[in-house]
């Protein structure tokens, strides 16, 4: 009986990695609009980010308080360190990048907060569909910016060989450059999605496995080392939550900037 109880606890801990349907909605073709715990925690993260900036914007003071200071640090971080190299042409995308950074970071942090099973805990960024959706936004913005700035023909031309190539090599090299660049454009969002998903789920999986060992241990002495490891991993995962949001945002800036200044 004791082994069965510990087994149930272990499976309950690992169940946090599963997407659970909360409200079932019939599919429309291949699209499933059911509300899952992943969707709910995405909403929670979005509400936190939205409410934070709305509250700060309505309480602006010459002598900033704690919340305003945090918001100003985030804004300076986004417009300076993250997107400073974009210049005036990319200024309109400062706030998209800031939103991506804050949203991903908050989703990561929401997933790290211990929650009872009744709340169906889940980390949205541990789902490849969520991370790919975020990457798809960056992909669409990048392609839109490239076509808008240079026209479709000019944007595609920037993928081809640069001036100065011997005429005999232009045609074959153009074919190679075009295919490689086209594949690269589609692999960019894929790499963004997989990087964020892989790093998030790996950290959570390690923590959950160690928690399962703690619950399964029959002795407090045996449970202490994995418990200490879980505490250390939670601290490390806070750092990873920031780093992954930062890397995703920084790569997004690089991709959008490459489209803005294509051919330069």
CB-based contact 207:237 (threshold 8 Å): yes
pLDDT at 2: 44
Q: How far is CA 159 from CA 174, 180, 251, in A?
A: 8, 9, 19
At 134 the pLDDT is: 93
- For residue 60, the SS3 value is coil
Mean pLDDT of 32-48: 89
**58-90 pLDDT tens trace:** 887 877 788 888 888 888 887 777 766 676 666
Residue among 52, 51, 17 nearest 36 (CA): 17
In the numeric block, which tokens belong to residue 144? Answer: 């839109």
pLDDT (0 to 100) of residue 84: 65
Query: Which residues lie below 8 Å from residue 176, measured CB to CB, with a gap of 6+?
Result: none
* pLDDT averaged over every residue in the chain: 81
Per-residue pLDDT tens over the stretch 238-257: 888 889 999 998 888 888 88
- Res. 21: pLDDT tops 80: yes
Lowest mean pLDDT among 44-53, 143-152, 220-229: 220-229
Determine which helix (DSSP H) or strand (DSSP E) holds 193, and give its type and residue range: helix 167-216
Domain extents in the chain: 2-260
Determine which of 54-58, 164-168, 197-201, 220-224 has the lowest per-residue pLDDT on average. 220-224
pLDDT in tens, 204-238: 777 777 777 776 666 667 667 777 777 787 788 88
Q: What is the pTM of this model?
A: 0.84
pLDDT band, very low/low/confident/very high, at 5 (cuts 50, 70, 90): very low
**Which residues does 233 contact at the CB level (< 8 Å), separation at least 6?**
203, 206, 207, 210
Residue identified by tokens 């349907």 is 21
Helix (H) or strand (E) segment spanning residue 35: strand 35-36
Q: Which of 17, 45, 37, 42 is nearest to 204 (CA)?
A: 17
């Amino acid at each position: 009986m004791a082994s069965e109880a510990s087994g149930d606890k272990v499976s309950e801990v690992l169940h946090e990695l599963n997407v659970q349907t909360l409200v079932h909605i019939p599919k429309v073709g291949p699209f499933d609009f059911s509300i899952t715990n992943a969707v709910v925690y995405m909403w929670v993260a979005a509400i936190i980010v939205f409410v934070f900036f709305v509250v700060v914007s309505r309480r602006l003071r010459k002598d900033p308080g704690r919340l305003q200071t945090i918001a100003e640090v985030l804004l300076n971080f986004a417009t300076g360190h993250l997107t400073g190299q974009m210049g005036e042409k990319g200024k309109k995308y400062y706030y998209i990048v800031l939103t991506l950074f804050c949203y991903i970071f908050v989703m990561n942090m929401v997933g790290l907060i211990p929650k009872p099973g009744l709340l169906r805990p889940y980390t949205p960024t541990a789902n490849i569909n969520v991370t790919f959706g975020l990457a798809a936004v960056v992909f669409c913005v990048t392609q839109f910016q490239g076509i808008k700035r240079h026209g479709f023909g000019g944007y595609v031309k920037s993928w081809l060989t640069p001036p100065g190539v011997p005429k005999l090599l232009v045609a074959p090299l153009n074919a190679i450059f075009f295919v490689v660049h086209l594949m690269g454009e589609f692999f960019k969002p894929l790499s963004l999605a997989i990087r964020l998903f892989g790093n998030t789920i790996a950290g959570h999986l390690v923590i959950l496995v160690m928690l399962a060992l703690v619950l399964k241990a029959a002795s407090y002495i045996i449970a202490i080392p994995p418990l200490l490891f879980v505490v250390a991993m939670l601290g490390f995962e806070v750092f990873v939550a920031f780093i992954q949001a930062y890397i995703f945002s920084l790569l997004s800036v690089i991709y959008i900037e490459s489209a803005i200044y294509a051919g330069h």
